[in-house]
Every structure is written in structure tokens, then in C-alpha cells.
Chains A and B, each alone.
Chain A
Amino acid sequence: MSHIQKNFIDLQEIFYHLEEEKKVYAIIKLPYNFPAYDVGSDLDIFCYDIYEISSLIVAQLQKKIDSSLTIKVTDNKQQLYIDILDKHTIHFRFDLYGALPSYKNVNIKEAFFSSVLENARIVQRGEVYVHVPSLIDEAILRYIEYHEWYVQRPDKIKHIHYLEQKIEENALDTDLLFDKLHYYIALPSVAQREEKSHNIVIKYALYFKEMVQKVLLHVRKNGLEETLHKIKGRVFK
């Protein structure tokens, strides 16, 4: 059982110190309940110097270390995680980026990262001021995240709902949004990767594998009965 209470980490105090030290950062997709947080959640932060920011965060968090609470930092050079662990469970995570994450489905110019930081705005949450991206940058980041993950994570549709809502509220200048979006991103060209083998056994094995995949897809879409009917039709036509 967890001995750490909800909102045990004082995010307000941490960000108060970052503000006091005049550090350049931006919290991406600032949670609605900040400076409160959900247990197990994370906070994405863009910053120029992940080491400087992480040092300040750890300097505040270390006061909380005891026999159950530990802090684990994983340094992947351009990205750094600070995990607050309750025994072996993640209670909260800071996810610091020193550069844009690498996306597979979208090409983004590296300069977008500094654009996000340079154009960040300050908002007040609770008793603390925090830096967040401009509305346009936030919209672009959410759009990119949706585009990157919607196949695996249907819940990412929430980002599109966010954009729709902002557009409806006239909170977003769509002309500016599309200008910036088209300036900084490009969709990668889709090139079919085709490798053909001259070995007849491999050729048939690949054909068989492809057929099985097609059948499974058909079953998922149309059900077993419909699929069997279709196979029967193909075989005996």
C-alpha cells in the first residue's frame, strides 16, 4: 500500500523556484488540475538545459526522500526523466526535453523547439506562475502528437477535440496556425518498401503470411461468418 499521499509533491514550490531562478522552460499540455496532479501522471517540460532544470527539481525533491520514497533520474542526453518512486511504483514523473522528441510520422524542423520556448507565455495556476507554449504552439504540438500516435492510441483524439474547441471559441487564429504548421512540419513521403525474394519457398511463405493477415483483418472488420463466406466464394468460383 502506498504511504505517499496524493499531491505529496509540491509542484507549486518547485515551479516557484524555477521562476525565481528565471529559467527558460515551457510545460507542454499543462494538466487542467495543475499544481495538483494525478498519481502516476507525468509533466512534459521543454527547456534549453535539461541538466540545469533537473538539478533544481532534484534539489527540491530530495528533501522528501525517506525509506520509501526515492528518486530515479534517467539521462538519455536530449531527454531526461525524473521519476518519484513510491517503493517501486512511479508516483509522478517529470519528463524533460532538451530537443524535440523524435517523431516517426512527422518531420519537424528542429527550430520549432526554440520557437516554442521563445514564444512561451506565462499563466497563473494556484499561487504560482508557470511558462506554457503560446496557443498556436500548443495547438501544433497537440496536432503532432495526435498524428504520431492515433493508430496505436485512439484516445489521442482528445487533442483534436481540444483544437476544435479552441477554434470554436475563436481562441486560435487559424491562418496563423496553418502558416506556422506548414512552415515547421512536413509529412514524410510514403515509399513502399518492397523486397522480393527469388527463393520460391520464401516467396510462397510470404504470400501465405500476407493471406493470413488479410483474413484476420477481414474477420476483425466483418466477422467470422462473413469471412468464411468470402473465402468459399473465392475458392469455388
Chain B
Amino acid sequence: MHALFQKSRYDAILIWGHGMKYFHNILEDIRGNENFKIVKIEKYKPKNIKKFVKAMYSFDYAPYWHLKAKTKYLLQTEKEVCFIFIQNKDPQEDYLDEGSFRHKESLTLKKFKEYLRDKYNPYENGKRTHHHVVHATDSEEQTQKMLYFLGYTQGVAIFQKIHSVVSLPYYLNDYNLFHFLQIDVQNLYAKIVDGESWDNSFTKIVPLQETPHYLGLCKDMDLYEEYIEKFLGGALQEDYSVQRYETLVENFNYLQEPYANSFILVERVDDKYIILDGLHRASCYIMQGKKEIKVCHIFKRTL
């Protein structure tokens, strides 16, 4: 197909329970593939693995009875999986198989899925087994259904770019008032996650200087690494990694071209400006010794 007619699409890579030990490695592999951009990471604990497997394969082009034998091994796997939603920038869609099994698939993702399976599937007698550590969507419709399954009633529409005067992440929609102002960095606060584990956590508001993001930069990056390792896929669903953070720090120049509009977004509670988006950038900025910062205070007004 001519490049002009190709468009990116959203896909999902599901890591099954027995693949979760490779969770961070798989994320690194995805980050290393220029065709993919991670947009959401969500861990999930199925109550009933049999029902969950059936639900996931009910989105498949092949009937479940056909896949039943193939997926039997999954019933013995750990009850913790992870959905990694990606933007597939170059899907190279094609129609594969014949007859009632004919279906649309992204050749880019198919190739990558096989790469992951070659790397992480269990091996027996030097041969790769069919106990696949990952499942990947064939079409965007399947991604849509996975999002519905997780309770996102808008489906892939949640990832679509929000048209606004500033760059807004997908989870900050419906804002219509934007106040750009300069504030003292001492008034910056952030919501951070605390608790036992990714599935037993709560959020709390702390001064920016007490966040793992800031402490990671000025004291020890291990503090930040431990934080994301603990909560990634739980309350933290963006693509955070130490490597990405260090790259940001190296090249960081707040509100300079081509990011002259990439404001740190805040909401105001009493005298506190709480960061809604841009905690990493704010930490970098304050590390540079700045005392004041330009932010965008966003709020909703009923029209």
C-alpha cells in the first residue's frame, strides 16, 4: 500500500502470567522498536483465568473451540497479566489465511510478536514451545474490545489527540480554560503513589522536592527506579523508565522550540499548584536551580 494511504493504529500486547517475569525486558524491546510507541500499561489480575482466556480469545478471528487446545497451557499460568497498549506507527496491514480464517493483521506487529516469542517463550529440547508469553491484537477492533473489557467505554478514542491550545495528554480532556502564569517553585506539589504494591496503593500530595522524581535526580536514581518498578502498570500507566528520564534530563530546555507550548499543567487546590502533567519536566527544571516557573493552570468551565 502506498505510504500516503497508511495510517497508524492502536494495538495491544498482552503479557500472560508466565511472561510477567520478563515484563521490563518486553517493555524495553517495545521501546527499542521505532514502529511502536507505548501509550498505556495496565496490569490486571483475573479472578478466573479460564474465563479471562476465553474473553481474550473471543475477540480473535478464529472461533474459541479452535483455540481451546492451543490455550490450555494458559490455565496453569499465574493470575497476573499486563496489557501494553501501543501506537503502531507503521502497521503494514494485510489479509492473511484463507476461507473463514482470513483476517486482517499488522505485519509489523506479527513480526515483532514472533520476535518476543522466540526470545521469551519456554524452550524444550532446544525447541521453542507454543506456550506463548505474549498475545497481540490482529486489528484495531480487537484493541477496542480489550479496552472495553478493562472498562474504557470510549475504546481507542481515549488515545486520540486532544485539540487544544496546549499539548494535553489523553487523560486530561474537556478542559476549556487555560491560565498561563509564573509561580514560585515552592508552591508546586505533585500526586505520587504510595502503598504495598501496584495493586494495593493510594495517592498522596507532596511538595515536588519530596517526590521520587526530584529525589532521583538530586540524590539517587535508584529511588525513582524502585518507585516505577513497584507501581508501573498499577497507578502509573504511562511509559516511565529510568533511561527515558535520563534522556529527558540531558536535553531538557523548558519551553524552548520546538516545545514552546509544552507547559507543565497544574490544578489549584488552596494555595497549592498540583501537577497534573509534567512532573518529570518540573523536577528537571528545579534541578537547574530555578526559583520561578511558568505553568498552565487548567480548569473546566461549564459553557
Interface residues of A (CB under 8 A from B): 51, 54-55, 58-62, 65-67, 70-77, 80, 82
Contacts and interface: CB of A to CB of B under 8 A. Distances in A.
B303 A70 contact: no
A59 B257 CA distance: 9
A70 B181 contact: yes
A26 B171 CA distance: 33
Q: Most chain-B CB neighbours within 10 Å: which of A61, A62, A76?
A: A62
The SS class assigned to the A binding surface is mixed
Given A70-B181, A72-B179, 13 more contacts: A54-B165, A55-B166, A55-B261, A61-B180, A62-B261, A65-B180, A70-B179, A72-B180, A73-B165, A73-B179, A74-B301, A75-B176, A76-B303
Nearest to A68: B182
A75 B179 CA distance: 11
B260 interface: yes
B96 interface: no
24 contacts: A51-B163, A51-B165, A55-B261, A58-B165, A58-B261, A61-B180, A62-B180, A62-B255, A62-B294, A65-B180, A65-B181, A65-B294, A66-B182, A72-B178, A72-B179, A73-B165, A73-B178, A73-B180, A74-B301, A75-B165, A75-B175, A75-B176, A76-B176, A77-B303
Interface in B210-249: none
A74 B175 CA distance: 10
B172 interface: no
Contact of A73 (B177, B182, B260, B294): B177
Contacts of A55: 165-166, 261
Interface of B is mostly: loop
B288 interface: no
The 9 closest A-B pairs by CB, nearest first: A59-B260, A71-B180, A73-B178, A70-B181, A75-B176, A54-B165, A51-B163, A73-B165, A59-B261
A195 B303 CA distance: 30
B220 to A, nearest CB: 34
Contacts of A75: 164-165, 175-178
Interface in B273-303: 292, 294, 301, 303
Contacts of A70: 179-182
